[in-house]
Amino acid sequence: MYKNKKIFILGMARSGYEAAKFLSSKNCEILITDAKEKDTEKINELESLGIKVIITENQLELLDDSFDVIIKNPGVPIDVPVVLKAKELNIPVINEVELAYYYLPEDVKIIGITGSNGKTTTTTLTYEILKKAGFPVHLGGNIGIPACKLLDDIKENDYLVIEISSHQLYDFKDFKTDISILTNVVETHLEHFYTFDNYKNSKKKIFNGHTKDDLAIINNGNECSLESTKDILSNKITFSALVNADICLKDKAIYYYDEKIIDVDDIKIKGNHNYENIMCAISVAKHYGVANNVIIEVLKEFPGVEHRIEYVGEINKRKFYNDSKSTNLLATKIALSSFTDPTIILLGGLDRNQPLEELIPYMKHIKKIICYGQIKDRVKEFANQNNLDCDVTENLEEATNKAYESSSEEDIILLSPACASWDQFKDYEERGKKFKRIVQTLK
């Protein structure tokens, strides 16, 4: 589709880098640009492929009407001048996931997963069950594996399980799934979308192009999910760990309609949020005819995923948990609900103006808050207003050290920031890995 075209790639993170490499094989003239310095080795590799790399904040000056398409990194804001100029020039703006979609072989079954929380666990678990069942299945998307990187391996009639963020969905035009999962929708990412309606409309794009032959898996206990999907044409399966649904909790077990699948005591990952992620994966597996014994075998062994209430280790009878993926209040509420022991929580990062007061009902066991990063002053004010003990630090390392100094035996030390990481880190993964390295230095 984009053979012999002139391509403008905006952003050199994973997706832009992989898109550039892929398109270089299509005899395209490619310019890739980023505002921040990037890995010199990657720049050299791209330049060796004949790709023009420009690091500049003045990206607007690089764009003219000679370009056929812009491929935008999903993290780039929706209203940066270069994107607005592209629209004035009628240059299509797409992202790397949709680029890969145009090059997929025929009859690839696409299972797309989005939602405010639970995307990565649901995506990983769905992939693991299908793989265990012997399906020719591939894993990619927002989970950290760019879709373009998979194109050499995907064959006709294969299955693609792909995590899709709201940022990626926003730019979609033609992308269509066979199965779409919407785990939940809560107010978040308003620094990117400006209004909750914009964010909800972005999430709804996961169902674009659906007919009665496609499947939508929807959270029956999440009002925003139900509202967003009331007019879609898809065949629907509902799930919930809290209310009645097609797949739900009964008698401490997960039931798919009237069929018992597994007792929750046999599941390695705990909590209603995880049970809902599991329900989504079970729904996909049952749709494709996977045997219950295969589903059960995977669920009994699945340990969860990195940066999601991840157990890091124990030091002097203090247990450390990495929940760096908690970039909004709902995710942190879920993390707080997972513990009853005295807990020191690390809150911090990019301030999205979320109402911190919503955390209060979940903080009965909180011994101390350690805040850091851009939001630290607002967290301190929130703590003072609610008579919560709070120490202010500058960064994650100081916060972790202060938490350890303030702790006692049997305490939980929990990184669950409730904020995006971008004030001090590239992404939540870098933040989580940094936390784990800091914990290791405390031993």
Residue 371 backbone class (left: φ over 0; alpha: ψ -120 to 50; beta: rest): beta
Average predicted confidence (pLDDT) for the chain: 95
One domain for residues 172 and 227:
yes
State the pLDDT confidence band at 2, using cuts at 50, 70 and 90: confident
What's the total number of domains in the chain? Answer: 3
One domain for residues 293 and 373:
no
One domain for residues 382 and 424:
yes
CATH of the domain at 58: 3.40.50.720
* Listed residues 246, 281, 301: the one ending a domain: 301
Rounding to the nearest 10 degrees, give the CA dihedral for residues 332, 333, 338, 340.
110
Q: Is residue 364 part of a domain?
A: yes
Q: Is residue 88 part of a domain?
A: yes
* Listed residues 64, 94, 124: the one ending a domain: 94
Residues 6 or more apart whose Cβ sits within 8 Å of residue 276: 118, 183, 184, 219, 239, 240, 241
Q: Is residue 190 part of a domain?
A: yes
Residue 126 backbone class (left: φ over 0; alpha: ψ -120 to 50; beta: rest): alpha
Q: Which residues pair with 256 in a beta bridge?
A: 247, 259
One domain for residues 296 and 409:
no
Q: Is residue 220 part of a domain?
A: yes
Report the distance separating Cα 221 and Cα 239, nearest Å: 8
One domain for residues 56 and 194:
no
Q: Is residue 1 part of a domain?
A: no
State the pLDDT confidence band at 268, using cuts at 50, 70 and 90: confident
* pLDDT per residue as tens digits for the range 43-69: 999 999 999 999 999 999 999 999 999
Q: Is residue 41 part of a domain?
A: yes
CATH of the domain at 234: 3.40.1190.10
Q: Is 80 exceeded by the pLDDT of residue 288? A: yes
One domain for residues 288 and 346:
no
* pLDDT per residue as tens digits for the range 171-215: 999 999 999 999 999 877 777 777 888 898 889 999 999 999 999
Residue-number span of the structural domain to which 11 is assigned: 6-94
Three-class SS of residue 345?
Answer: strand
One domain for residues 54 and 151:
no
pLDDT for res 78: 85
Q: Is 80 exceeded by the pLDDT of residue 7? A: yes
Q: Is residue 412 part of a domain?
A: yes
Global pTM value:
0.83
One domain for residues 54 and 187:
no
One domain for residues 113 and 89:
no
pLDDT for res 22: 96
One domain for residues 371 and 328:
yes
One domain for residues 20 and 52:
yes
* Listed residues 59, 94, 129: the one ending a domain: 94
- For 4-73, give the DSSP string: T-EEEEE--SHHHHHHHHHHHTTT-EEEEEESS---HHHHHHHHHTT-EEEE-S-GGGG--TT-SEEEE-
* pLDDT per residue as tens digits for the range 23-44: 999 999 999 999 987 789 999 9
pLDDT for res 152: 95
One domain for residues 152 and 86:
no
pLDDT for res 270: 83
- Please state the rounded mean pLDDT for residues 88-116: 97
